[in-house]
Amino acid sequence: MTAQLDSMYPTTVDFGTLDEIHRAARAVLPAAVFDFVEGGAGREITLRANRDAFDRWRILPDPMSGVANPSTRTSLLGRTLETPILTAPFGGDAMFHAEGHLAVARAVQRHGTLTIVPEAGSYSYEQIRAAAPDAAGIAQLHPFAHAPDVAERIYRAGYAALCVTVDCPVGGFRTRNMANRFAPDMRQFGGNLTGRDGAPGVAEVFGKLLKHGAAAWNWADLREAAALFQLPWIAKGVLTPDAAEQALAAGACAIVVSNHGGRQLDPAPASLDMLPRIRAAVGPELPILFDSGIRTGSDVFLALALGANAVVIGRAAIYGLAAAGEAGVSRVLELLTEELRTLMTLSGAATIDRIDATRLIGAQP
């Protein structure tokens, strides 16, 4: 009697592909909110460049390598991760689903990795930490005058590291939002920006940020403030070797190579194009995270091969959140990780540290 074979393709899950999740998010979100997520700054040249950069690379197959069950386990800042995929600190998360980053953190915890908790999120650092303490290990802050006080609060809440967003002294010139007359409920950005107990209010921070009224810090200002931090800190928004070196001089323990997903300076270089140059400048030991343009498991593979230790997903996590809350984010992480494992098998990389540039070739023009 012939044994019944199970299909290798999903038949009972809500979402079979990441494209399905993207379409579901588009269907459920108001058009202006979807554009807020999907869009970039200016003419969106940087936004497109981020995706085009991945198309310039090919992964080399390694037939008969003997790799059958590769491990996606890795380590970052002393923490073991089951997958090298973190989620980004996107603000206003209750716009996309009522549970916002609470749902994100719970999904991330299920997959044994980390989320970077946003400062301008819908829920507080403390609420998200309580919801998923193993996932909520890194908290974002912005380099404004209140940063040392925020850093102290994050420390008291039990986080292990800070993430300082260094590429946002003013909001990007986001033309889709302007065309849509986009006016979100700013309370959805106020989980930490409460205006109470010494914390600035949403209007105070965003009023300055969007109207060129914020005090623009330099690296010396950040170095001075960071001397008061009781936690190690990561510089997010580094796009040049010089900025990477400046971040290290200011005391950063790691960097996130990022152009803010094409939402700040436009036109700017693609993050992936700059990643190898930054890795060469800082050497092999510095932990580098990468974001901007990650949509597939092959994108994750390419970023790791070109110098990143882990990647950070923003839009993909938002799409999952909008489509199905915690389950949607979990499915995004599952699909990305499973595709990464498949590519590791086919390219002969048994472990994450075996993914390097020797497994790539430039695409033919």
Residues annotated as part of the active site: 260
Asked if residues 246 and 219 have their Cβ atoms less than 8 Å apart, the reply is yes
- For the purposes of burial, counting CB atoms within 10 Å of the CB of 63, is it exposed (0-12), middle (13-18) or buried (19 or more)? exposed
Cβ(46)–Cβ(40) under 8 Å? yes
**SS3 at position 182:** coil
Give 201's contacts (C-beta < 8 A, 6+ positions apart): 190, 193, 194, 195
Ramachandran area for residue 153 (φ above 0: left; ψ -120 to 50: alpha; else beta): alpha
Give, in degrees to the nearest 5, the angle at Cα 107 between 105 and 111: 110
Residue ranges of E strands in the chain: 57-59, 74-76, 79-81, 85-87, 115-117, 136-141, 161-165, 233-238, 254-257, 288-290, 310-313, 360-362
State the Cα–Cα distance between residues 97 and 317, nearest whole angstrom: 12
Determine the 3-state secondary structure of 351 from DSSP: strand
User: Cα separation of 159 and 153, whole Å?
Assistant: 9
CA 160: distance to chain centroid?
17
- Helices and strands of the chain, counted as H and E runs: 13, 12
d(CA 340, CA 229): 36
Residues in Cβ contact with 120 at an 8 Å cutoff, skipping those fewer than 6 apart = 91, 92, 189, 190, 191, 192, 193, 202, 205, 206
